[in-house]
Structure 1
Amino acid sequence: MSRLVSFPWTFLEKDLERNTSSDLISDILQQTCLHSLCREFPPAVRYRKLFLSELITRQEAAGCDPLDALYDALAEVVGAGDPTECFKSYLLPGGEAVSLLERVALVSEGTTGLVTWKAALYLAEWALDRRQTFTGRTVLELGSGAGLTGIAICRSCRPSRYVFSDGHPRVLQTLRDNVRRNGLSELPSGAVAVEEMDWTTATEEQITRIGADTVIAADVVYDPVVVEGLVEMLSRILRCSSPEVFICSTIRNPETYAGFKRLLDAAGIVHQVTTGAVSQVFPYSRVQMETLQLFT
C-alpha cells in the first residue's frame, strides 16, 4: 500500500554494494510478492510489475547473483493480463490486515464506491484513536463503499453492532464480499449487517430500527446533488434519535464543501470541526482532511 518512490531504495543499493549475494533480494521477495498475504490477496498487477522490475534493475546494477524466483515472479505477473479488480491490504496497528477487493479504476459502473478513498483511511485512523466512541455501541455507517473504515472499527473498537450501508447494488455486493472475506460474518448473529440505504428514500422506520448510537460517513461530500440528499438523510437521523454523528471529508472543492455546511445550517444542524491529533496508520498523503461533528 506504499508508493514505490517511498521505498528505501538507497538503503538497498548500499547493502547490495557490500554483499552481492541474492539473500537480501530473496528476503524482500518473500516478504512482499511471495508473502502469504499477497498470495491470497494479490495486489494490482501493474503495481507488482513495477515493483519487481525495480528490484531486478537494482539487483542487476549491483552485479548480484541472479535469483530465479525473482524472474519467475515477474513472469507470473506479466502473464496475468490487466484485470479490472485487485486486492488491497491495509495493516492495522496490531498487525492484522484488512484485505479488500477493489476496482483498479477510481470510477467504474457509474460509482466511486468500489475503491477506498483517503477520507475513509483518515476516518479509520480517527476511530482507532477514539475507540470509546464505538465500543459497546451500535454504529451506522453511511456510504460504506469497499468497507475499510467499518472493518477496521469492527476489528479494533468492539462495537456491539455495526451496520454498513450503501445505495449502489454493485457496491453492496462487493461490500458483503469484503465483510465476509475479513471474517466479520463469523461474529455473533446480528453483530454486523449490510443494508441498502438510499438517502433520498430511507424511512424513519428503517433508521429507528437500526437505533444507532454513533453515525459516521467518509468522503460523501463530493457532489452538490449528492450533498442535498445527504443532508436530508442526516436530518431524519437526528430527528429519530440523538446519536453522535461524524462526517469526514477530503476538501477537494471548497465551494461544494461550503455548500454542504450552508445546507446543514439551513436544516438547523449545528456542526463543529473535531480537534486533536490523529495518529497516522496507513501510508497515504493527508491533504485537507476535516471531520465534522453534527448536533441538533
Structure 2
Amino acid sequence: MDSWPSHSPSPAAARSRGHGASNASKRWGILRRALLDRSSSSRALDGTSSDHQIKHNTNNISRKVSRGFNLIECHPLPISQLVKSPGNSINGNENDFGCQKDVYVCYKLPGGGSSKLDLVYRREDSLELNDIEASNRYNIDTTGLVCCWPSEEVLAYYCIGHSDMFRSKKVLELGSGYGLAGLVIAASTDADEVVISDGNPQVVGYIQKNISINAERFGETKVKSMILHWDKEQASEILNTFDIVVASDCTFFKQFHVSLAQTVKSLLKHSATSQAIFLSPRRGDSLDKFLGIIKENGLSCEVIENYDHTVWDLHNKYVAGEDRTWPNYDKEHCYPLLVRISSVSSIS
C-alpha cells in the first residue's frame, strides 16, 4: 500500500493527474530532506533555511485525509470498552495493549446480525522519522502505518459479498496494513486458514494485536500474521500453497512490481481454481505497468471496472459531483479496479 494518496483538486482531469504526481514527489522529497537533515550537520550550517523549506513545501501540498467509500459502518472505540470485551487476550490491563499513538475502531460488518471487528491503529498524525528510517534500512514502506486505505475497505466489502469463494480455502493477504480485509475474511467466511502479511515488522505487530482482539470471532478458521517481503525468496513451506491471494493498493511503487508479481506466482497453488484478487487504482500508468509484468511472468489477468453495484454507484456520484462528501475524489487515484490473476492460461 502506498503512502499519502494524491487526492488532487477537481478541475480538469489532466491538471489533476499532474498535480497528483507533483504532490507525491514533494511528499517523498520532504521525508528525504528531513532524514538528511537528521543525519548530517547541514541544518547547523544552514541555520533554519532547511526547516523553512520543509515547512513551505508541507504547507503547499494536500495532506492525507480520512476519506473512503464508507461501505462498512465504523466508530471509535474507547480503550476501556476494548479491555472489557471478551477474548481480547489482554487480561484487563490497558498498559498491556496500545499506547498514546494508538486509536481503536469498531467495524460493524454488513450482512445482518451483530458481526463486528475491533481494530487498533496508529493515529494518523503519529508517523515519525524513526519509521521512515526503518523503511529505508529494510527496503520497506511505511504505508501500512498510516491508516486504513479506501481500497482496503473496498476489498473487505467485496470479500463479504463473495464469501462463498473462500469456503475451505487457504487465503493470504499481501501488504495488508492493519489487516482489515484479512480479518473480515476470517470473521465472515468459512475459510480454512487466513494468513495476514506485511513486510513492515511494526505493521505486523499491529496485525497480531488485531488477531488477538478478535480471536473469538473467527470460528474454526485458523488466523495468523506473517512478515513477508516480496523481494526475498519465500520459505519453501509456503510455496504454491495458497488457494487465494488478496491485496489492495499494492501496485503504486513501480520498483516493487517485479517482486510482487513473482511473489504471487510463487505462492499461488498450481490449480485451475487458485487466483489472486487485487483491488488497485490506476495511479497514472502504475497499474498498467504492473499488469504488463504480470503477463511477462506467465500469469493471466482480467481487469473489471464495475464489480459491485454499490461501489460503482458511489464512484459515479463522486465523479459527477452528486455526492460531495469526498470533495477531492479523483478516479485515477481513488477508485480501485478489480484485477483477477491466475496462474493458468485462462480465468473462468
Query: Could you say whether these structures have the same fold, taking a TM-score greater than 0.5 normalized by the shorter chain as the test?
Result: yes
The CA distance in 2 between the partners of 1:182 and 1:170, in whole Å, is 19
- Where 1:105 maps in the other structure, the secondary structure is coil
Note the 1:70-219 alignment, pairs <5 A: 83-93=100-110, 94-105=113-124, 109-110=131-132, 111-114=142-145, 115-183=147-215, 191-203=222-234, 205-208=236-239, 211-219=241-249
The CA distance in 1 between the partners of 2:108 and 2:78, in whole Å, is 11
Relative distance call for 1:276 and 1:181 in structure 2 (3 A) is same
Q: Deviations over 1:47-75 (max 9, x none)?
A: xxxxxxxxxxxxxxxxxxxxxxxxxxxxx
Equivalent residue letter for 1:288: Y
Task: State whether residues 129 and 278 of structure 1, in contact with CA within 8 Å, keep that contact through their aligned partners in structure 2.
Answer: no
Structure 2 partner of 1:247: 278
1:262 corresponds to 2:279: no
Task: State whether residues 78 and 104 of structure 2, in contact with CA within 8 Å, keep that contact through their aligned partners in structure 1.
Answer: no
Relative distance call for 1:278 and 1:142 in structure 2 (3 A) is farther
- Where 2:279 maps in the other structure, the secondary structure is strand
- Where 2:226 maps in the other structure, the secondary structure is strand
Q: Deviations over 1:158-210 (max 9, x none)?
A: 2111111111110111110011112259755x8112122111114261323x7
Equivalent residue letter for 2:175: G
Note the 1:12-51 alignment, pairs <5 A: 40-41=81-82
Relative distance call for 1:152 and 1:132 in structure 2 (3 A) is same
Structure 2 partner of 1:68: none
Relative distance call for 1:195 and 1:38 in structure 2 (3 A) is closer
Structure 1 partner of 2:88: none
The CA distance in 2 between the partners of 1:183 and 1:295, in whole Å, is 31
The CA distance in 2 between the partners of 1:183 and 1:204, in whole Å, is 26
Relative distance call for 1:261 and 1:184 in structure 2 (3 A) is farther
Aligned-pair distance for 1:130? Answer: 0.8
Structure 1 partner of 2:339: 292
Task: State whether residues 125 and 278 of structure 1, in contact with CA within 8 Å, keep that contact through their aligned partners in structure 2.
Answer: no
1:220 corresponds to 2:250: yes
- Where 1:113 maps in the other structure, the secondary structure is helix
Task: State whether residues 41 and 88 of structure 1, in contact with CA within 8 Å, keep that contact through their aligned partners in structure 2.
Answer: no
The CA distance in 2 between the partners of 1:171 and 1:198, in whole Å, is 13
Report the count of equivalent residues.
221
Q: How much identity, in percent, do the aligned residues show?
A: 23
The CA distance in 2 between the partners of 1:177 and 1:161, in whole Å, is 18
Equivalent residue letter for 1:256: S
- Where 2:158 maps in the other structure, the secondary structure is helix
Task: State whether residues 219 and 248 of structure 1, in contact with CA within 8 Å, keep that contact through their aligned partners in structure 2.
Answer: yes
Q: Deviations over 1:114-157 (max 9, x none)?
A: 22111110011111111111122111111121011111111111
Aligned-pair distance for 1:278? Answer: 4.9
Aligned-pair distance for 1:224? Answer: 0.8
Structure 2, gaps ≥5 residues long: 1-65, 84-98, 133-141, 315-324, 344-348
Equivalent residue letter for 2:270: S
Bigger-Rg structure (1/2): 1
The CA distance in 2 between the partners of 1:206 and 1:116, in whole Å, is 30
The CA distance in 1 between the partners of 2:261 and 2:100, in whole Å, is 37
Structure 1, gaps ≥5 residues long: 7-31, 43-81
- Where 1:245 maps in the other structure, the secondary structure is strand
TM-score using structure 1 length? 0.65
Structure 1 partner of 2:38: none
- Where 2:144 maps in the other structure, the secondary structure is coil
